[in-house]
Amino acid sequence: MIAFLTGKDLEKYGLSWMPTLMSDKQMVLPIDTVKYQAQEVVGVLASSRYAAADGVAAVEIDYEPLPVVVNPYKALEAGSTKVRDDKDSNHIWHWEVGDRAATDAVLKNSHTTVREHIYIPRIHVASMETCGIVAKWDAINKHLTLYMTTQAPHAIRTVVALITGHLGLSEENIRVISPDIGGGFGGKVPVYPGYVIATAASVVTGLPVKWIEDRSENLQADSFARDYHMDCELGADKDGRITALRIKTVADHGYTDAAANPSKYPAGMFSICTGSYDFQTAFTEADAAYTNKPPGGVAYRCSFRVTEASHAIERMVDIMAHERGEDPADFRMRNFIKPEQFPYKSALGWEYDSGNYHVALTKAMDLIGYRELRKEQLEKRQRGELMGIGISSFTEIVGAGPSKDFDILGIKMFDSAEIRVHPTGKAIARFGTKSQGQGHETTYAQIIAEELGIPADHIKVEEGDTDTAPYGLGTYASRSTPTAGAAAVMGARKIREKARKIAAHLLEAADDDLIWDTNKFYVKGSPDKSKTIQEIAFAAYTNHPQGMEAGLESTFYYDPPNLTFPFGSYICCVDIDRGTGQVSIRKFVAIDDCGTRINPMIIEGQVHGGLTMAFAPAMMEQIQYDSDGNMYGGTFMDYMVPTAVESPKWITGGTVTPSPHHPIGAKGVGESPNVGGPPAFANAIVDAMWHLGVRHIDIPITADKVWMLLNKHGVALAE
Ligand code: CDP
């Protein structure tokens, strides 16, 4: 054992609390009060994991039960137990967008209105490779190196510099390296106490210090996602056109607001909740509450609360269609934004770049055999069997910036690419983003190969080292392709323009007389007079025109003019066992549109993984708390993660509607399946039981929940 570190020790350095990304503050180690079950209480430093475990076992904490509040509605009541001594109440923020009065009036006068309370419970990334750090303080050079599991290394470097400035640490002496970190999914954006403790311990002891969570610690104490309680109301006229939408949300953030949203958007991009539908009146508001739980609200494979928004609108649209006795596909087709309406200004202020929703849904319906399934459903229903079909036609919103609206802790959201072409025509490209298995090494190289004609396997892609990569905001919220992907295109084009000048010099021709073709410039009218990119690269270092800077490289910071709006239509078909309540997913079809597809195989992989991560919260995963604040779902005995055995088979396909503002028309894709998936399952299951009187079931839709409903409606089989 080397040392024990307590909150009191950290307090001496002003480090017992740290700022969160949402300008709140979070305990690194407590001094006298813990805020939730499984909170870190002391740091034990030892020279081996075993010794550290012995040290942990030797720690004795004298806990005294204190009143807690775990229900966010109760937390917001006057006189509730206060979670934070430094705050006046448990109310963190109120946020609203849209026209409240107009929405109230339109809903009041609508021919049909449907209301539902929809809850999306806490879930967790449940990392296989957990969060960790190796902090190495070099006292001689006053230099700090942090090897850490972060999705945003540059932002971390700046934050570390800002919060440790008073200790003499300066940004040029901080190097953050994010190596292969396992999956991120939003859970590796926040700063966790373990990172700070390891760093402080390295500074104090002068030794390199490693911290790594085990999977239980990761599951119980890291940031959570969702926990949104939504009261939704949707109106339609007598012809079945949507008139207005209102959603009032209570967001449970745990004991601090440590979500990772852009500063201006405390509820993330929730205002995409008008979805794929054309109507002009909407209002949404959210109130966030402190409760005695770990911090929550990370964008778990979701572009900041879009999964919640998408679930709300897709469930409400389905309820409305059923209420009207209409086929949910027909209802959607009537209400979709039409292709000619793009760019489309939504009721809550977003400008959708492009879309073709009718085609995506038609393709999904053809692929699954929708009309035949509906016939089969009717026949089965007559035999007393339960079968359901659910649709989700979602619109995503990804690619933050533009920097005029998006920042994290004041750091503007753009992204970057630095490309260097070496004399032999090979290249290295570095980015401000950070792949966590999404395959940037492949797709960025493909983008540059396409623009410069250098074979992709001659292009080395690097990310994640703040000493070498250009500044960027990292990878989460499917932002890499819309931002750094675009920077790669623009940077490569800058290089091509310089290459044109060098080729003109070599060919003794005018710049304007040169034509670019795949990997070379040739002289207009004389295709045999040409110089390949490799010849040009060599000349850039050996024979460049006098007066021109030598070398062939570029750095490009891309600030997107708008977000991109990928979309898709998913259809799920389920059978329900009346004896057990077990739901079997018979077929699931996913049609995704992410604009221009850079690498279809990678997209396929993203969609397969994302759909499995949608199936998980729809059918299995949740973390609950009892009224004393005890956690249920803190181990893999009761936090049900799907394995290959439970996961359905996915049938995937796509349409291509390029983004008009991205330089190659690409939109993000990584999160679409997670955003669009859950309501497809929920809609299918409710569809199977609507005729019994079931209107809504909160996810996860477990067999016991279904069986209870079947029993309530008198159709559960006894044996
Ligand atoms: O930010 P993140 O990398 O998680 O998400 P993304 O931009 O949606 O990209 C995920 C992966 O899919 C990357 O390797 C992209 O290059 C690839 N992709 C693609 O091949 N074509 C697209 N239109 C979008 C993404």
pLDDT value at residue 163: 80
Output the CA 384–ligand 1 centroid distance in Å.
Answer: 45
User: Which tens digit of pLDDT belongs to each residue from 397-444?
Assistant: 999 999 999 998 899 999 999 999 999 999 999 999 999 999 999 999
User: Does the C-beta of 564 come closer than 6 Å to ligand 1?
Assistant: no
* 116 annotated active-site: no
Element (H, E) at 489: helix 486-507
What does the pLDDT average to over 443-453? 98
Q: What CATH code would you report for 415-558? A: 3.30.365.10
Looking from the CA of 507 toward its CB, the CA atoms found within 13 Å total 27
pLDDT value at residue 1: 80
What does the pLDDT average to over 167-195? 95
Q: Pick from 659, 669, 674 the residue to mutate for probing ligand 1's pocket: most ligand atoms within 8 Å of its CB.
A: 669
pLDDT at 486 > cutoff 80: yes
21 vs 406: which has the higher pLDDT? 406
Q: How far is CA 373 from the centre of its chain?
A: 33
Confidence of residue 166 (pLDDT cuts 50, 70, 90): confident
Q: For residues 291 and 82, give the distance between their C-alpha atoms in angstroms, rounded to a whole number.
A: 9
> What residue's CA is closest to ligand 1, atom 5?
478
- Please, what is the angle between helix 370-382 and helix 357-368, to 10°? 50
* 213 annotated active-site: no
Q: Pick from 598, 655, 664, 672 the residue to mutate for probing ligand 1's pocket: most ligand atoms within 8 Å of its CB.
A: 598
pLDDT value at residue 11: 93
User: Which of the following is catalytic: 131, 302, 572, 573?
Assistant: 302
Where do the domains of the chain lie? 3-66+131-212, 224-295+305-345+352-400+562-712, 415-558
User: Does the C-beta of 30 come closer than 6 Å to ligand 1?
Assistant: no
Please give the order of strands across the beta sheet that includes 112-123.
Answer: 91-98, 281-289, 242-252, 225-236, 112-123
Q: How far is CA 109 from the centre of its chain?
A: 37
Confidence of residue 168 (pLDDT cuts 50, 70, 90): confident
Cβ atoms of residues 138 and 205 within 8 Å: no
Question: Dihedrals φ, ψ of 605, to 5°?
Answer: -65, -45
Q: Pick from 301, 435, 480 the residue to mutate for probing ligand 1's pocket: most ligand atoms within 8 Å of its CB.
A: 480
pLDDT at 13 > cutoff 90: no
User: Which of the following is catalytic: 151, 377, 446, 534?
Assistant: 151
Whether 415-558 and 224-295+305-345+352-400+562-712 are alike in CATH topology: the answer is: yes
User: Does the C-beta of 439 come closer than 6 Å to ligand 1?
Assistant: yes
What does the pLDDT average to over 10-32? 92
pLDDT at 165 > cutoff 90: no
Cβ atoms of residues 335 and 279 within 8 Å: yes
> What residue's CA is closest to ligand 1, atom 4?
478
pLDDT value at residue 167: 78
Average pLDDT taken over every residue of the chain: 96
Distances (CA, A) of 457 to 272, 389, 444, 445, 597: 39, 45, 11, 8, 19
Q: Name the one residue in this structure whose structure tokens are 């937390």.
A: 75
At the top level of CATH, the class of 3-66+131-212 is alpha beta
User: Which tens digit of pLDDT belongs to each residue from 226-284?
Assistant: 999 999 999 999 999 999 999 999 999 999 999 989 999 999 999 999 999 999 999 99
Confidence of residue 719 (pLDDT cuts 50, 70, 90): low
From the candidate CATH numbers 3.30.365.10, 3.30.200.20, 1.10.760.10, 3.40.50.2000, the one assigned to the domain spanning 224-295+305-345+352-400+562-712 = 3.30.365.10
User: Which of the following is catalytic: 213, 463, 553, 671?
Assistant: 671
Q: How far is CA 145 from the centre of its chain?
A: 28
Cβ atoms of residues 355 and 672 within 8 Å: no
Output the CA 302–ligand 1 centroid distance in Å.
Answer: 14
Q: What percentage of residues in the chain have a pLDDT greater than 70?
A: 100
Q: Quick one: tokens of 50?
A: 């075993």
User: Does the C-beta of 668 come closer than 6 Å to ligand 1?
Assistant: yes
* 446 annotated active-site: no
* 314 annotated active-site: no
Output the CA 448–ligand 1 centroid distance in Å.
Answer: 15
User: Which tens digit of pLDDT belongs to each residue from 629-671?
Assistant: 999 999 999 999 999 999 999 999 999 999 999 999 999 999 9
3-state helix, strand, coil in the chain (%, to 5): 30, 25, 45
Total-model pTM: 0.97
Q: Pick from 397, 602, 657, 671 the residue to mutate for probing ligand 1's pocket: most ligand atoms within 8 Å of its CB.
A: 602
Output the CA 164–ligand 1 centroid distance in Å.
Answer: 35
> What residue's CA is closest to ligand 1, atom 16?
443
Confidence of residue 346 (pLDDT cuts 50, 70, 90): very high
> What residue's CA is closest to ligand 1, atom 3?
480
Output the CA 123–ligand 1 centroid distance in Å.
Answer: 24
Determine the 3-state secondary structure of 44 from DSSP: strand
User: Does the C-beta of 598 come closer than 6 Å to ligand 1?
Assistant: yes
DSSP letter string over 625-684? E-TT--EES-STTTS----TTTPPPPEEEE-----SSSTT-B---TTHHHHHHHHHHHHH
* Burial category of 383 from C-beta neighbours within 10 Å (exposed 0-12, middle 13-18, buried 19 and up): exposed
Output the CA 598–ligand 1 centroid distance in Å.
Answer: 8
User: Which tens digit of pLDDT belongs to each residue from 60-119?
Assistant: 999 999 999 999 999 999 999 999 999 999 999 999 999 999 999 999 999 999 999 999
Angle at 368 between CA 365 and CA 371, to 5 degrees: 60
Q: Give the residue from 330, 253, 329, 261 showing the smallest Cα distance to 295.
A: 253
